[in-house]
A and B are shown apart, each in its own frame.
Chain A
């Protein structure tokens, strides 16, 4: 398994408050890796650490072999890391089309961008219907789709997804996860998927980590993690 993202002994703090302790984490190229944990465990902080947003980190973070832990967010993004933050982060004042165009802002290949617009609309047909609508008027599920689509417009090598299921109805979640699985399979985009909804995450992931209070407590294949007694009791409910 080649590695596209590697965190080595990464610790992070918000000001004086430590949040992550010596995290070792690896995302395989072309794979979906799930990161499970309860509220406040540090999942979003790991995402932010990778993109160097709002948090001070120590330790090494490597993307495709290159160190990114001291780069600016926009430079990390330009290397091919797309982050779908918690809360979606859509540009609520812009239209769906404008949101997607912002996704491709750093690209210079006009034809590639045009093709990708068609592609994301195939994955998320609802966006076509809402093309000229203000993003803020979309439903939660549609905004999540828009956020993912916008990230895809970057043609990323790695997609970071922070709680895509948050606040969405189960049937919409199923929809979205199905699409994520398809994207991973057909486009070969690696994904790091942070989720509280362990069952859904494990159903599409190849490997998984469990984080508790800022530390990785379990790591292994998705099947192994899913079979773990502790995980089943705490996160899967049986």
Chain B
């Protein structure tokens, strides 16, 4: 029983990483109706920026906040320069652009920073009061940050007029123009905010998985799976999906098939869920006129 609990909690910890990355995906999806496959690489790049600031000697929270600000700017710039030209193109064209972006950022990161994994510090002290047998203090902190992000993002979309405008823009850009929304600005802000969420996810993940250019590819896949399983336009669902994926992955690895196949098993289960609930467990039931 103890062992099972260990696996579950450990799964929750990794699930926290997936969940926060899933939130970045939801952020971008809700504001642009696109899934950004390069989100993981952006998060990784942001984490490297933070690392550089830390190496230069800045205290953690300064590096953290500056990274968030810079990430926002990078997100906005990418939307303006890279995504805007293909905004109105069919979805596969946009997907290829995202793949191109993914590959470029990954390659540049490897070139600038090298491929040796780097150690990234955690802001949560090693033996804080909230650490216990099941979760280290960083893992607790990580889950807390994820939940905080969740509440903030949910509130943003639900209760603020900017959040409402961004949702409207993603659904119907033309009608949004007709009520005076500056659509381009909404999309840029959406990307900026998603980059910020991704940066947080990266900085939470790096202490655990170590910082290297490829650190996010596996995470992004699980985050994607979690987001879809929970409903891609639903922050609560995405977070729940992320945690469930984390736990599933761990249990599958420990009890079913060993580490070799756990990725496959986890994905198979997720696909199974989607087949039964095609819009995700908590995805909305959309109405469409024929």
Contacts and interface: CB of A to CB of B under 8 A. Distances in A.
Contact of B178 (A77, A92, A101): A77
A41 to B, nearest CB: 22
B178 A51 contact: yes
A93 B164 contact: no
Interface string A124-163: 0000000000101100000000000010001000000000
B60 to A, nearest CB: 39
B262 interface: no
A98 B164 contact: yes
Interface in B168-203: 168, 171-172, 174-183
B262 to A, nearest CB: 36
Interface stretch (A23-31, A82-90, A168-176, A216-224): A82-90
Contacts of B178: 51, 73, 77, 82-83, 85, 89
B127 interface: no
Contacts, number: 69
Given A134-B287, A137-B287, A154 B180 contact: yes
Interface residues of A, number: 26
B286 A102 contact: no
A77 B180 CA distance: 5
A136 B175 contact: no
A205 B179 CA distance: 25
Contacts of A134: 287
A106 B165 CA distance: 10
B289 A102 contact: no
Interface string A19-54: 000000000000000000000000000000001010
Kindly state the interface size class of chain B when it binds its partner: 20 to 34
A53 B161 contact: no
B288 interface: yes
A53 B168 CA distance: 18
A154 B181 CA distance: 12
Nearest to A83: B178
A162 to B, nearest CB: 11
Contact of B180 (A94, A105, A136): A105
A93 B171 contact: yes
Residue with the greatest number of chain B CB neighbours at <10 A, chosen from A103, A105, A106:
A105
Interface in A44-69: 51, 53
Given A105-B165, A136-B288, A136-B289, A94 B179 contact: no
Contacts of A53: 174, 177
Contacts of A82: 178
B177 A74 contact: yes
B138 interface: no
B172 A91 contact: yes
Main DSSP-derived SS at the B contact region:
helix
B174 A93 contact: no
A119 B175 CA distance: 22
Nearest to A133: B287
A89 B180 contact: no
Nearest to B233: A93
Contacts of A137: 287
B171 A102 contact: no
A232 interface: no
Nearest to A99: B168
Interface in B147-176: 161, 164-165, 167-168, 171-172, 174-176
A154 B183 CA distance: 17
A14 to B, nearest CB: 15
Contact of A78 (B161, B165, B180, B284): B180
Nearest to B185: A74
A94 B30 CA distance: 12
Given A91-B171, A93-B171, A102 B176 contact: yes
Given A92-B287, A136-B286, A101 B174 contact: no
Contact of B179 (A92, A93, A136, A154): A154
Contact of B167 (A77, A90, A94): A94
A101 B161 contact: yes
A98 B167 CA distance: 10
B165 A74 contact: no
A180 to B, nearest CB: 18
Given A102-B179, A136-B286, 5 more contacts: A74-B182, A78-B180, A83-B178, A85-B175, A94-B171
Interface of A: 51, 53, 73-74, 77-78, 82-83, 85, 89-94, 98, 101-103, 105-106, 134, 136-137, 150, 154
The 10 closest A-B pairs by CB, nearest first: A106-B180, A136-B287, A89-B175, A77-B180, A73-B177, A78-B180, A93-B171, A137-B287, A74-B177, A83-B178
